[in-house]
Amino acid sequence: MIPTSASSDHDELRDALRALCAQFPGEYHRTHARNETYPVEFIDALTRDGWLAAMIPEEFGGAGLGLTEASIVMEEINRGGGNAGHCHGQMYNMGTLLRHGSDAQKAKYLPGIASGDLRLQSMAVTEPTTGTDTTKIKTVARKQGDRYVVNGQKVWISRIEHSDLMILLARTTPLDQVKRKSLGMSIFIVDLKQAIGNGMEIRPIRNMVGHETYEVFFDNLEIPEENLIGEEGYGFRYILDGLNAERTLIAAECIGDGYWFVEKAAAYVGERTVFGRPIGQNQGVQFPIAKSYVNIEAANLMRFEACRRFDAHEDCGAQANMAKMLAADASWEAANACLQSHGGFGFAEEYDIERKFRETRLYQVAPISTNLILSYVAEHVLDMPRSF
Ligand SMILES: Cc1cc2nc3c(=O)[nH]c(=O)nc-3n(C[C@H](O)[C@H](O)[C@H](O)COP(=O)(O)OP(=O)(O)OC[C@H]3O[C@@H](n4cnc5c(N)ncnc54)[C@H](O)[C@@H]3O)c2cc1C
């Protein structure tokens, strides 16, 4: 295995995850990707061993670990050839409930989420007509008696068919009646089994990465008022609070992908002989692989700095965003180097490279695009003028 800057930390944790992931080889993930099916057995095994409940406090049945350890779980899934995109929602969506839910909501949902009996894998924010400009969302929730009635549309909402619960962001006060555009939005817990067919419809979106994701339509969906999380009107702030964990975990997934690509490429170029010598003897072949390794290592340091700050309850917005961007760029660079060094074989399904190449490309766009990270750094870290 290639050395990594954090290889001596958390050895036990990594060994346990590697043993689990080894039971699900490339062929397993490849078959699910090809058939666009959900890797149920793999996710069940991760759930059974408690990995997806890493960040849930022990009092609610979780492992009570930090973001550092949780990020290692995500990294190892991707480093082992899998795709944590199938389950990362279960790891971080509960954070919104944990931080902003009432005691009653936490007691009702968190133990079930920790055991895996309840899956909170979906979070519905993005809309087709407003995109990244989230404060303009058009989905509305109107209070009527003891319930909210929801109308509107979402897009790219992932893992709905493998979730029991979904967090929904909707506007509760019209944009032209709020002091700040970020106010007047609220978040709700949606019981998906009750909702689908009763005011909520879903339509799968076939996509490049076989990611289970949907268009969602709300037509007078009724949500009981006790499903409002926190205070009405502050939902956008609550969602933002959860993003640092999400970005750091996804950075770790990209780092796992990056090491997977580098390892695969370095091994292959040492074996593949063309013109009478291993192709890896040519510096033109070595350097792109070495360069992507250097960049993954650098991104990894920023990821662990984001984790350290998060776990110490320090502000980590800048580090989480930068880690996500650096890691996504580095994994994409490694993906290209790996594909290129495999020549034609990189395109063959059985090598898994083309699958992971597509999977890692997603993270330039979702859950936040690179441009929006640069905009965050420009405005919030470097104090440049706001552009929107
Ligand atoms: C497979 C997949 C799964 C997803 N899962 C979920 C989910 O579970 N829940 C959810 O809510 N969303 C989900 N998303 C949505 C995802 O978060 C968005 O696609 C992403 O945030 C980008 O938003 P958009 O697609 O609306 O792009 P747009 O906002 O339309 O932007 C398009 C491009 O323009 C650029 N751009 C836009 N404005 C600016 C600007 N001012 N300056 C510079 N560049 C700009 C962006 O960087 C981007 O590259 C998912 C998306 C995918 C593809």
Query: Using 50, 70 and 90 to split pLDDT, how confident is the model at 7?
Result: low
Angle subtended by helix axes 67-79 and 11-22, to nearest 10: 40
Residue 101 in this model has a pLDDT that exceeds 70: yes
- Give, rounded to a whole angstrom, the gap between the first and last alpha carbons of the chain: 45
Separation of alpha carbons 96 and 113, rounded Å: 13
Separation of alpha carbons 206 and 220, rounded Å: 27
Query: Using 50, 70 and 90 to split pLDDT, how confident is the model at 9?
Result: confident
Evaluate: CB of 125 within 6 angstroms of ligand 1: yes
Q: How many residues does the chain have?
A: 388
Residue 311 in this model has a pLDDT that exceeds 70: yes
Q: Which of 388, 382, 377, 358 is nearest to 85 (CA)?
A: 358
Distance, CA 158 to ligand 1 centroid (Å)? 13
Write down the pLDDT at residue 290.
Answer: 98
Residue nearest atom 12 of ligand 1, based on CA coordinates: 126
Write down the pLDDT at residue 325.
Answer: 98
DSSP string, 243-266: HHHHHHHHHHHHHHHHHHHHHHHH
CA torsion through residues 261, 262, 263, 264, sign: positive
Give the rounded percent of residues in the chain with a pLDDT score beyond 90: 97
Query: Using 50, 70 and 90 to split pLDDT, how confident is the model at 210?
Result: confident
Q: CA separation (Å) from 297 to 3, 46, 317? A: 10, 26, 20
**And the tokens for 4?**
């990594």
* Stretch 355-377: mean pLDDT: 97
Write down the pLDDT at residue 111.
Answer: 98
Backbone angles phi, psi at 229, to 5 degrees: -95, 130
Evaluate: CB of 131 within 6 angstroms of ligand 1: yes
Q: What is the pLDDT of residues 120-159, one digit of tens each?
A: 999 999 999 999 999 999 999 999 999 999 999 999 999 9
**Would the pTM count as exceeding 0.95?**
yes
**And the tokens for 267?**
């091994």
Angle subtended by helix axes 67-79 and 283-311, to nearest 10: 150
Neighbours of 267 (CB within 10 A): 12
* Stretch 28-42: mean pLDDT: 96
Distance, CA 371 to ligand 1 centroid (Å)? 10
102 Cβ partners below 8 Å, 6+ apart? none
192, 164 Cβ separation under 8 angstroms = yes
69 Cβ partners below 8 Å, 6+ apart? 10, 13, 54, 63
Distance, CA 128 to ligand 1 centroid (Å)? 10
Sorted by where each starts, the structural domains of the chain and their CATH numbers stand as 11-115 (1.10.540.10), 122-233 (2.40.110.10), 237-381 (1.20.140.10)
Q: Which of 289, 285, 255, 258 is nearest to 273 (CA)?
A: 285
Distance, CA 156 to ligand 1 centroid (Å)? 9
Residue nearest atom 50 of ligand 1, based on CA coordinates: 156
Evaluate: CB of 372 within 6 angstroms of ligand 1: yes
3-state secondary structure of 8: coil
Q: Which of 164, 170, 280, 167 is nearest to 233 (CA)?
A: 170
Separation of alpha carbons 83 and 76, rounded Å: 10
In whole numbers, what is the pLDDT of the chain averaged over residues? 97
Give start and end residues of each alpha helix (H) in the chain: 11-22, 26-35, 40-48, 67-79, 88-92, 94-100, 103-115, 192-195, 235-271, 283-311, 317-341, 353-361, 370-376
* Stretch 152-173: mean pLDDT: 98
